[in-house]
Copies of this chain bind each other. A is one copy, B any other.
Amino acid sequence: MSAPPDLFASRWVELPAHARTVPEGGLAAGFRAAGVACGIKPSGRTDLGVLVCDAPDAVSAARFSRSGALAAPVLLTQERCELGALRAVIANSGNANAATGRQGYEHAAKTQGAAAALLGLDPAQVAIASTGVIGVPLPVERLIAGLRDAGEVLRPDGDADLWAAIRTTDAFEKRVTLDVELSGGTIRISAQAKGAGMISPAFATMLCFVQTDAALAQETAELLLGVTVKRSFDRVSVDGQLSTNDTVVLIASGASAVSVAPESDDELRLGEALDQLLRALAIALVRDGEGSEHVGRVIVRGGDPDGVERAARGVANSPLVKAALHGGDPNWGRIAAAVGQALPGTAPLPFDIAIEGIAVCAAGAALPHDAAALDAAVGGPEVEYEVGLPGEGAETEVFFSDLSHDYVSINAEYTS
């Protein structure tokens, strides 16, 4: 595995002045975590993670994939958990427990029951998350045996082990610890996320667990997670493929004793930090998209929010645009075609296109431009595309990876 890059190095992320990364990592106060190998992954790698919050009055919020083929752990967590009062997450990689029917649901329920017993919690406080191959029965006995092992090694600095337990094809760590200055003192946020394929629309094939020791009302956790997920994991695409298992869970322990009141300045400050943290993780998912070597950002502006959204998704998901990004090809005609496809029946549509600030198309027609400058601009690790549609007032962005030979290799040769 490559060394973890600085997740805040992207020019599209800016940590607010009142937040700083904690290089040595570690969980927010009030949390312990562990990761063990329980034998789900044939490789013998770590594949089972446990996160637990020791505060009885923890509050939480969660978001999930909207797939019609939701995996059993997502269905179970949605149906059987108290999503505002979660205290633990059991996560495995190597098996998605998706398209596994009633048996899969029972396996998720057994896992939840076993974890609750071992951790001394109510089952409704234990969320279950899985990622890996679809349509294969979960080896639930191994998982439950692994839970016992994990229970013995729970540690306040177990975030690295937890991250290792949820990784699949991820090439680098996506794990952050932040200290955030609020009026009442310093609070900590820690987060672990995994990509790396099947990443798109309503927020990516991904798992992300976020912990904070701030003391929050449940409504605040709900509000902050809702807004920041919409601005981060909802805005990325590796391959336009929505997963069956996407899960984001935020738990607040209150262990710092620093309270964040609703609609306070501190709520705003905490939100800003969480926003940039999730944005950094989301962009890291794209950067670490399967086979990805470049990250694109498309910004679309216009008068119709729905059209702006469709155009941005259309560009971000176009395999032709992605292949051009991979090859450093300044082929903006593919942007034009993707916009045209996203907005059928609107021809002749007067759209504008700029790449890295170089205007290449205005009102639907090519503009003379410095081809050498454009060539140089599209060869970098991050490339920004701007599309203007008629009207104003609506704007959106999508971050996307390129389409590489490695994406094909990973997905043609690896049953994931």
Contact = CB atoms under 8 A, between A and B. Distances in A.
Interface of A: 66-70, 74-75, 96, 98-104, 133-137, 197-198, 200-202, 239-244, 317-320, 323-324, 326-327, 329, 331-334, 336-349, 351, 360-361, 363-366, 403-405, 407-413, 415-416
A130 B340 CA distance: 17
Contacts of A361: 99, 135
A348 B202 CA distance: 17
**Copies of this protein, total:** 2
Contacts of A104: 365
Interface of A is mostly: loop
Given A103-B365, A323-B407, A366-B136, A333 B66 contact: no
B134 A365 contact: no
Contacts of A365: 99-104
B363 A320 contact: no
A320 B197 contact: yes
A337 B201 CA distance: 13
Contacts of A416: 331
Contacts of A96: 333
B366 A101 contact: yes
A134 B336 contact: yes
A98 to B, nearest CB: 7
A364 B103 CA distance: 11
A101 B241 contact: no
Contacts of A135: 332-333, 336, 360-361, 366
10 contacts: A68-B347, A68-B351, A69-B336, A70-B347, A98-B337, A99-B361, A134-B337, A135-B333, A240-B318, A329-B412
Contacts of A349: 68-69
Given A340-B67, A340-B69, A347-B67, A323 B411 contact: yes
A337 B240 contact: no
Contact of A405 (B337, B348, B405): B405
B405 A340 contact: no
Given A75-B347, A243-B337, 15 more contacts: A66-B344, A68-B342, A68-B343, A68-B351, A70-B348, A98-B333, A101-B363, A134-B334, A201-B341, A241-B334, A244-B340, A319-B411, A324-B412, A326-B412, A403-B408
A344 B68 CA distance: 5
A416 to B, nearest CB: 8
A346 B68 contact: yes
Nearest to A70: B347
Contacts of A327: 411-413
A345 B202 CA distance: 11
B411 A344 contact: no
A239 B319 contact: yes
A369 to B, nearest CB: 10
A22 to B, nearest CB: 36
A412 B323 contact: yes
Contacts of A408: 323, 326, 403-405, 407-408
- Greatest chain B CB density within 10 A among A66, A333, A337 is at A337
A342 B201 CA distance: 11
Contacts of A366: 99-101, 135-137
A410 B324 CA distance: 10
Given A66-B345, A136-B366, A241 B407 contact: no
A328 B103 CA distance: 28
